[in-house]
Amino acid sequence: MGSTISNCCQLDREGISPYQKSYLHPDNSRTSSKRLGMDGGKKHVRFVENKKSTAELRPSCDDSPQRGNFSRMAGPSSPTKNCTNNGCEDGTVTFQPPTSELNPSFIKHVKDIRSIFVFDKKIGDGKFGTVFLAHPKNDLKAQVAIKLIPQESFSHRIEKELLLLKSIKHRNVIRYISAYKDNKYYYIITEHCEGGELFKKIVDQGCLDELEACNIISQLLKTIKFLHDNEICHRDLKPENILFKRKGDNRIKLIDFGLSKQLKKGEIMLKKLGTPYYLAPEVLEERYGKEVDLWSLGVVTYVVLCGYPPFYGEDAKELFSNIYYVNYDFAEEDWCFISDEAKDFISKLLVKNPQERLSIDQALKHPWILSNITEPESSVRHELTSNHSDVHPCDKKVLDVTTEAFSKSSECATLDSYERSLVELF
């Protein structure tokens, strides 16, 4: 099951098979048939493990050649700073570990939510709730996103995500504000991000220039470091889960913690979870750690620089085989204008053995990151005081896919059978 909380500022989306080569692209001098947008800007779906399925996702062979296995770069770790609960504008962060037992006491009971907030307009509909753009009654300029979830739809998983999101305060993570309930609904209030998705930006532009791409990846690296330092693995890093706080502003916000996991020290994850294009090889082997986020970051970097993913296939078996064998390249027609440092950065992240992959600290010290680093454009206004007329719809449709559809016996899952297996989450 996917997230129902932290994606409340996203665009509505349609489901597609994640195995189409055609991807995103408007009119651009660097044109490729694989680019995101050649399919109308449709988005990637993710899957969760079907506990009843015994289908194997990995290829039948036991070993595979490795590509991109470059020497690792060393770099000292940088300490995590603290900030006040309402701060974090200067890049500092804080984390309060959630309690081991779920406790909904932080969800306040209210007789009428409209005594606190004015609902301006509906900006999204979903299976588990409706999202509204709203503002506090005492502040006409402060925009927030409010998700209404019927009580019968408020699950243990949603509560876990909410508890985790509540514990995180970081300038590049979607900000939880509060939660309320009455006799019919739960109301989840988060900041509203009007800048739209990184995915949409790639659709519109075809790809990003290196300076802009590096700026975004650098912010994402620092966010991942914060999460990993606090033993949190995101497990679903992709352009759809990266928002821009404001229009014309490159400050990002990471969203959708529905698949995230708070780990115990040294804990190994076993479930097959994530979005197919961005899965690390070790996820297919059902034994992995936080290093999967670094692999996904490598895929995201590849996508933002050329407009399509490094791994794809006509069906599930081909896609996962290409991931498992680390079978990708830098096509000359699309990568001739990209620096060797950028390619090296990607190559050192897309390494099959997670122990030989760049660590988060090494990635932060990579020459491509250090040579292009700039501070994102950002206003000094309070996060809730921006007031723009254009509002993006939210609460996109995320699709869950069971592993049964990916592989049965020795046969490849067909596109039709895969699409029939999609189940709308919202």
pLDDT digits (tens, 9 = 90+) for 285-329: 999 999 999 999 999 999 999 999 999 999 999 999 999 999 999
Per-residue pLDDT, averaged over 327-345, amounts to 97
CA dist 165 and 146 (Å) reads: 15
Question: pLDDT band at residue 8, thresholds of 50, 70 and 90?
Answer: low
Q: CB–CB of 417/19 below 8 Å? A: no
Given 39, 63, 90, 236, which residue is catalytic?
Answer: 236
Joined together, the tokens standing for residue 241 give 């889960």
CA dist 367 and 362 (Å) reads: 10
Residue 52: predicted pLDDT: 34
* From 37-51, 97-111, 145-159, the region with the lowest mean pLDDT: 37-51
Taken in order of first residue, the domains within the chain and their CATH numbers are 10-102+196-406 (1.10.510.10), 103-191 (3.30.200.20)
CA dist 63 and 175 (Å) reads: 43
Please give the angle made by the CA atoms of 22, 47 and 36, to the nearest 5 degrees: 20
Joined together, the tokens standing for residue 326 give 């680390």
Whether residue 200 is annotated as binding a ligand: the answer is no
Name residue, tokens 């004015």. Answer: 118
Give φ, ψ of 133 to 5 degrees: -85, 130
Using alpha carbons, select from 200, 233, 239 the residue that is nearest to residue 360. 233
For β-strands 130-136 and 117-125, DSSP reports them as: antiparallel
Question: pLDDT band at residue 141, thresholds of 50, 70 and 90?
Answer: confident
- pLDDT greater than 60 at residue 408: no
Using alpha carbons, select from 322, 304, 324, 326 the residue that is nearest to residue 313. 322
Query: Any catalytic annotation for residue 139?
Result: no
Joined together, the tokens standing for residue 339 give 């620096």
How confident is the model over 148-168, as pLDDT tens digits? Answer: 999 888 888 788 888 899 999
Burial status of residue 115 (CB atoms within 10 A of its CB: 0-12, 13-18, 19 or more): exposed
**Helix locations, 375-420, DSSP H:** 415-420
- pLDDT greater than 80 at residue 397: no
Helix, strand or coil, per DSSP, at residue 61 = coil
Name residue, tokens 């029939």. Answer: 420
Catalogue the E-assigned strands of 316-410.
399-400, 407-408
CA dist 420 and 412 (Å) reads: 15
Spell out the residues 6+ positions from residue 359 whose beta carbon is closer than 8 angstroms to its own.
72, 294
Residue 62: predicted pLDDT: 33
Which residue type occupies 157?
A: R
Hey, how many other C-beta atoms are within 10 angstroms of the C-beta on 151? 11
Cα 35 to Cα 185, 204, 293, distances in angstroms: 41, 11, 23
Spell out the residues 6+ positions from residue 191 whose beta carbon is closer than 8 angstroms to its own.
9, 144, 145, 174, 175, 177, 253, 383, 384
Residue 236: predicted pLDDT: 95
Spell out the residues 6+ positions from residue 314 whose beta carbon is closer than 8 angstroms to its own.
19, 21, 412, 415
- pLDDT greater than 80 at residue 348: yes
Burial status of residue 286 (CB atoms within 10 A of its CB: 0-12, 13-18, 19 or more): middle
Does residue 359 or residue 406 have the better pLDDT? 359
CA dist 139 and 137 (Å) reads: 6
Kindly report the pTM of this predicted structure. 0.69
CA dist 9 and 256 (Å) reads: 10
Using alpha carbons, select from 238, 246, 321, 302 the residue that is nearest to residue 273. 238
Does residue 74 or residue 367 have the better pLDDT? 367
Per-residue pLDDT, averaged over 215-232, amounts to 97
Does residue 378 or residue 404 have the better pLDDT? 378
Give φ, ψ of 340 to 5 degrees: -65, -30
109: left (phi over 0), alpha (psi -120 to 50) or beta: beta
Name residue, tokens 């995500």. Answer: 161
CA dist 280 and 283 (Å) reads: 6
